[in-house]
Amino acid sequence: MTGLMDFFDELIQPDGSARAGKKQLADWMVTASRDMLKVRQTEAEALFRRIGITFAVYGEGGDPERLIPFDIIPRILLAKEWAFLTRGLEQRVRALNMFLHDVYHDRDIIRAGHVPEHLALRNKAFLPEMQGVSVPGGVYTHIAGIDLVRTGEQDFYVLEDNTRTPSGVSYMLQNREVMMRLFPDLFSHHQVAPVERYPDELLASLQSVAPPSCEDDPTVVVLSPGLYNSAYYEHTFLADKMGVELVEGQDLFVKDNAVYMRTTHGPQRVDVIYRRIDDDFLDPLAFRSDSTLGVPGIMNVYRSGGVTLANAVGGGIADDKAIYMYVPDMIRFYFGEEPILKNVPTYWCARDDDYKYVQDHLDELVVKEVAGSGGYGMLVGPASTREERDAYKERIKANPGEFIAQPTLALSTTPTFVDNGYAPRHVDLRPFVLTGADKIRLVPGGLTRVAMRAGSLVVNSSQGGGTKDTWVLEDEDAPC
């Protein structure tokens, strides 16, 4: 595994020995037959193809649907590491929810000068229609995907907050199922915390935020844009696992300040909608009049408390990449605590000093669009050409406030199975944080994304990245 020590490797120490609690996996990798692993890799690809898990790469000609690459070597987190991350994730998501409530109500944090007013109130995701609206349990971000990176033994950073419609949990669940099929012997020697209860936890969280008008067991549905959405498989998967209906806009209608679902037995009232449709397309009477994906009149019902939408409308402010810079200030302001999880140092090009620094150091930085996602529109400075940097400089010059930049972190690596054996590949982690009116829920682990190309720091599937199964060991003191 040459080159493995250039970065912090999560499995192997610089002297070549396994890190504490991870010796069994390291020993298994040494003794496992390469031919057997190649067969298992092929079987994994066949299973994913049979299941039908694909993702879309926009902007490509022909059929953009493809299988996401999957690596058969699991990533291991120890119980104490996961306990630390859990505390930090809960703290961060609580602060984001409080911030959203504050922005749409009293705006204390803005008046106190901790978040610039224009950043929140002139944000593209800010919706005046949500001002003064009380949402059940005060929960705006019911499902959050918080992207984490690691640079050392105890050094974890939050890279991004995804609070609109974070995707990828179906990969987390299917990765585990495939690994259990292919490597039951490996599981038998590790006490791996289960992730299978995620759909039950998601359903419980959604039911807990049913509107006050709901008198019986809440009726929950998943609202999808339809078959051609890049995450449609995940929509169907989660609806099936939760045992709820998957609907599209045409399946729902508004009557008497309530939302109903068309069924073969007649209209059925809907209480909670886990919507995977962006705000703009949700209600043609309130937002884009040309939208055929949403439900006419649903915003009036939502604002009056007749239905709950998860995630809340207007919550996209919280995953804006400029707002991201102020999350540590939110934690200090609302809780009087220091952030458990650190932010990556961030330069915002709307600031004169930051703008000049970014323009002078493009070859050292990762630059992103403030409202971007999926790895699209970003520049990885160290891997870019002079021509690419010059073109990007002009983009920044035209709209400085639309770009942030971060140092190129030495992301941790984990061993990954490649054609000639094992090789280090950079990884990140997206845990999924569920917030209900009753409590915050996390299943142990998350979606590990891996940069499959040697030396690449870009883990997004849209940019050639793959995934791994993430194991949280329940008993790290077990014999090795």
- Are 293 and 361 found together in one domain? no
- Mean pLDDT over 401-406 rounds to 93
CA dist list (Å): 331 to 279, 324, 338: 27, 12, 7
pLDDT-derived band of residue 408, with 50, 70 and 90 as boundaries? confident
- Mean pLDDT over 404-421 rounds to 92
Domain count across the chain: 2
pLDDT tens digits for range 163-187? 998 999 999 999 999 999 999 999 9
Cα four-point dihedral sign 214, 215, 220, 223:
negative
Residue 448 has pLDDT above 80, yes or no: yes
Domain boundary residue among 359, 387, 408?
A: 408
- Are 298 and 382 found together in one domain? no
Residue 399 lies inside a defined structural domain of this protein: yes
- Are 237 and 290 found together in one domain? yes
pLDDT tens digits for range 82-103? 999 999 999 999 999 999 999 9
> For residue 246, what pLDDT is reported?
98
> For residue 72, what pLDDT is reported?
96
Residue 460 has pLDDT above 80, yes or no: no
pLDDT tens digits for range 44-73? 999 998 887 765 554 544 445 567 899 999
Residue 397 lies inside a defined structural domain of this protein: yes
- Are 272 and 350 found together in one domain? no
Domain boundary residue among 408, 431, 452?
A: 408
- Mean pLDDT over 249-257 rounds to 97
How confident is the prediction for the chain on average, in pLDDT?
A: 91
Whether pTM exceeds 0.75: yes
Q: What's the rounded Cα separation, in Å, for the pair 5 and 3?
A: 6
Residue 323 lies inside a defined structural domain of this protein: no
pLDDT-derived band of residue 376, with 50, 70 and 90 as boundaries? low
> For residue 378, what pLDDT is reported?
86
- For residue 357, the enclosing domain spans 345-408
Q: What's the rounded Cα separation, in Å, for the pair 82 and 431?
A: 10
Cβ-proximal residues to 270 (8 Å cutoff; 6+ apart), any chain: 219, 220, 221, 252, 259, 260, 261, 307
Using the structure block, give the residue that is written with the tokens 């890190």.
19
Structure tokens belonging to residue 333: 């302001």
Residue 374 lies inside a defined structural domain of this protein: yes
Q: CA nearest 43: which of 200, 146, 169, 181?
A: 181
> Which tops the pLDDT comparison, 19 or 376?
19
> For residue 453, what pLDDT is reported?
87
Residue 302 lies inside a defined structural domain of this protein: yes
Residue 140 lies inside a defined structural domain of this protein: no
> For residue 60, what pLDDT is reported?
47
> For residue 1, what pLDDT is reported?
35
Strands laid side by side in the 245-247 sheet:
245-247, 220-223, 272-275, 308-310
Q: What's the rounded Cα separation, in Å, for the pair 455 and 135?
A: 45
CATH of the domain at 261: 3.40.50.11290
- Mean pLDDT over 19-36 rounds to 95
> For residue 272, what pLDDT is reported?
98
Domain boundary residue among 365, 385, 408?
A: 408
- Mean pLDDT over 111-127 rounds to 95
- Are 225 and 299 found together in one domain? yes
Residue 369 lies inside a defined structural domain of this protein: yes
> For residue 382, what pLDDT is reported?
87
Helix %, strand %, coil % for the chain, to 5?
35, 25, 40
- Are 353 and 402 found together in one domain? yes
Residue 2 has pLDDT above 50, yes or no: no
Whether the Cβ atoms of residue 281 and residue 288 lie closer than 8 Å to each other: yes
Residue 123 lies inside a defined structural domain of this protein: no
pLDDT-derived band of residue 457, with 50, 70 and 90 as boundaries? confident
> For residue 372, what pLDDT is reported?
67
Q: Which helix (H) or strand (E) holds 25?
A: helix 23-31
CATH of the domain at 400: 3.30.1490.270
Residue 478 has pLDDT above 60, yes or no: no
- Structure letter (DSSP) for residue 372: -
> For residue 143, what pLDDT is reported?
98
Residue 410 has pLDDT above 90, yes or no: no
Q: What whole-number percentage of the chain has pLDDT above 70?
A: 93
> Which tops the pLDDT comparison, 220 or 455?
220
